[in-house]
Structure 1
Amino acid sequence: MAGERFDLEPSFRALLLDLGISPVRVLRRAALPADLFIRRPIELSIPEYYRFWNALDAEGGTEGDRDLAVDIGRAISVELFSPPIFAALCSPNLTAAVQRLAAYKPLIGPVRLDADSTDALTITYRWPSGATPPALLATTELIFWVALVRIATREQVRPVRVTMPAPAINRTEVESYLGARLRRGPGFSIVFTAADAGRPFLTENDQMWRVFAPELRRRLADLEASSTLADRVRAALSETLPAGNASISAVTRQLAISARTLQRQLSQEGTSYQAILAGTREDLARHYLTNGDLRTSEVAFLLGYDDTNSFYRAFKTWTGTTPDAIRSTTPADA
């Protein structure tokens, strides 16, 4: 990720009200400031961003067979103004819209988009390592593209394939909205035919895009510039640790920087590689122990430890307690 904080568009408050969901209750459940929606800009860290979506799911997904992701897709409209989304609607077709949002997605969420238009248009999501995205968020991201192309073309476009690791809670309603069967796979992706991806957008507005593009580029540049080397090391470790590699060489290869330069710049930022490694391991350990059914030995492996005892000793040093004690607490307590 380019940075560690992401914009939540002010229009989200209007969307919640349209859905009949109390913004106050969502913020309270997510343990976020009550005045969040009147701040400018509204920026959330990854944990805060995920808490927001989990709280939204809890507040809005309790009415019988309602699938909130589908309701959000139906509620999306041009009136819910969001510059990056509006820029997508200004595109000539879905392929161009995906390319634009793929470039600017780091502004509005902790996720990357990969787009492949070789034969069909395949949109694949890459989420940050170490934490599973909320089910509502991931499902809504896939539904968003269907909503977008239908708004822009005024055609009932259907994807040809939709893949996710686990089926949606209300699978029938989600499949009915998409017009496609959900397939189980290792990640989140959605595929459109080349013909549908190239359908002209009736909302195309190149003049408006020229107005928005410079501001979006500036915001993206600010985001990337604000990312410190420590931020980049943390992001790299989140990818190398689950592969069992905690070495500084693995990180320097990924960041294309020498070990000496990395240590020197981290020192200038008031930290060190070992300090970042320990902090990242602790954060990931707490997440693994309080979310999911991983055994302690599996957590140790995912954090790059050769044996469970080494992990136990390190965890006791970080927290003053044991992994088992943390596991027995609730996620909120942890």
Structure 2
Amino acid sequence: MSERTTSSSWVLAIVNGLEMGGVDCRQLFAELGLDYEALTDPDARFSQDGMTRLWGRAVQLSGNPAIGLNLAKVVRPASFHVVGYACMSSRSLKEGFTRLVRFQRIIAEGADLNFRPLPEGYALTLAIHGDRLIPARQSAEASLAYTLAFCRWITGKELRPLKVCFQGEPPADLAPYQQVFQAPLQFNAEHYALVFERADLDAPIPSANPALAQLHDRFAGEYLARFSESRMTHQARQLLCRLLPQGEPKRDTVAQALHLSQRTLQRRLQEEGTSFQQLLDDTRRELAVQYLAQPDLTLLEIAYLLGFADPSNFFRAFRRWFDSTPGEYRAQM
């Protein structure tokens, strides 16, 4: 599993919320081995497990298990990195949530967002994943509280969700939750979620600006591309694409081209949830679809472009990938 990271801009929002709750974060960062100075670097990132330890100690030090809700009081668009500005310039919250889901990894890789219609409205659902540590409940509660407060801020309306869902048992003291969310609370739910009426999410946002939204989309896309390029999986995949037309690339060749030992390459790919063989297979599968969409390429040429010395190996691999032959697949396309 790759080490998930969180943007410094979101961590700074967390720090502001914790300090509002009386926690000395400079001292706490030193205690946990986190770099407090990196909070001012917009490109810095913090490990997901580091954030889990931060929440755990903050709850101990403050004695307040609901401290994550403080993030509703520290709303500023920069906390969501460029994504906050992209949401602000969206035509509606519905469009803003679509952007939030698309660019979520910029803010924090440990969170999975999903936005979907329901019979009664729309749901923004949230799942937080840890690496070695089970993520803190406060992390999800902070995300819900901040997101709702951000929506209220950019719309200028006191939005009240149809309901707010939480995984796990209800806390001993519900008052802070009722005060922040001002909506029916559901515990022991399948997901953390904010559920809204359709009319609230379809209403126009005062700060909507389609030209700015496009600009922010481009910035966010470029950031994600830069971010991906720092990943070993991305670098190795790019190299495989270049090497495949010369025959099946060997692991030692790829490792050498990346100035790594074979063992280091394999370890770093494993940390990112894959292996050399798996990455080779995935890259061939993705390229096969792209090549089949080009009618001027014969199946034999595609087999060689994918590094298969024997075309029959390509046909076998293709049937394993798609449960059909390349010819059948191309006909369906």
Using the aligned pairs only, state the percent identity: 15
Matching residue of 1:43: 45
SS at match of 1:217: helix
Matching residue of 1:181: 185
The aligned length equals 252
Instruction: Please give the alpha-carbon distance, in whole angstroms, between the structure 1 residues aligned to 2:223 and 2:67.
Output: 30
Any conservation in 2 of the 1:90–1:209 contact (CA below 8 Å)?
yes
Instruction: Please give the alpha-carbon distance, in whole angstroms, between the structure 2 residues aligned to 1:112 and 1:265.
Output: 35
Matching residue of 1:246: none
Matching residue of 2:204: 200
Cα distance, 1:69 vs structure 2: 2.6
Q: Does 1:136 pair with 2:141?
A: no
Any conservation in 2 of the 1:4–1:227 contact (CA below 8 Å)?
no
Deviations for 1:194-230, whole angstroms, at most 9, x for unmatched residues?
1122122223233432332222111111122222239
- Aligned alpha-carbon RMSD (Å): 3.7
Within a 5 Å distance, the mapping from 1:1-334 to structure 2 comes to 4-9=4-9, 11-12=12-13, 20-39=22-41, 41-59=43-61, 61-62=62-63, 67-77=66-76, 82-110=81-109, 111-117=111-117, 119=119, 120-128=121-129, 131-167=133-169, 169=171, 170-178=173-181, 179-229=183-233, 270-271=261-262
Letter paired with 1:193: E
Instruction: Please give the alpha-carbon distance, in whole angstroms, between the structure 2 residues aligned to 1:21 and 1:145.
Output: 22
Distance 1:133 1:209, change over 3 A: same
Instruction: Please give the alpha-carbon distance, in whole angstroms, between the structure 2 residues aligned to 1:40 and 1:144.
Output: 19
TM-score norm. by structure 2 comes to 0.62
Point out 4+ residue stretches in structure 1 off by more than 6 angstroms: 260-266, 276-281
Instruction: Please give the alpha-carbon distance, in whole angstroms, between the structure 2 residues aligned to 1:93 and 1:212.
Output: 15
Q: Which has the larger radius of gyration?
A: 2
Instruction: Please give the alpha-carbon distance, in whole angstroms, between the structure 2 residues aligned to 1:207 and 1:163.
Output: 35
Letter paired with 1:143: A
Cα distance, 1:144 vs structure 2: 2.3
Letter paired with 1:115: F
Give unpaired runs (5+ residues) of structure 1. 233-259, 282-334
SS at match of 1:69: helix
Any conservation in 2 of the 1:113–1:123 contact (CA below 8 Å)?
yes
Instruction: Please give the alpha-carbon distance, in whole angstroms, between the structure 1 residues aligned to 2:143 and 2:162.
Output: 16
Deviations for 1:85-131, whole angstroms, at most 9, x for unmatched residues?
23222222221111111111111112121111254211122333664
Deviations for 1:147-196, whole angstroms, at most 9, x for unmatched residues?
12211222221222322221454433213321222231233222112112
Letter paired with 1:53: W
Distance 1:277 1:185, change over 3 A: farther
SS at match of 1:136: helix
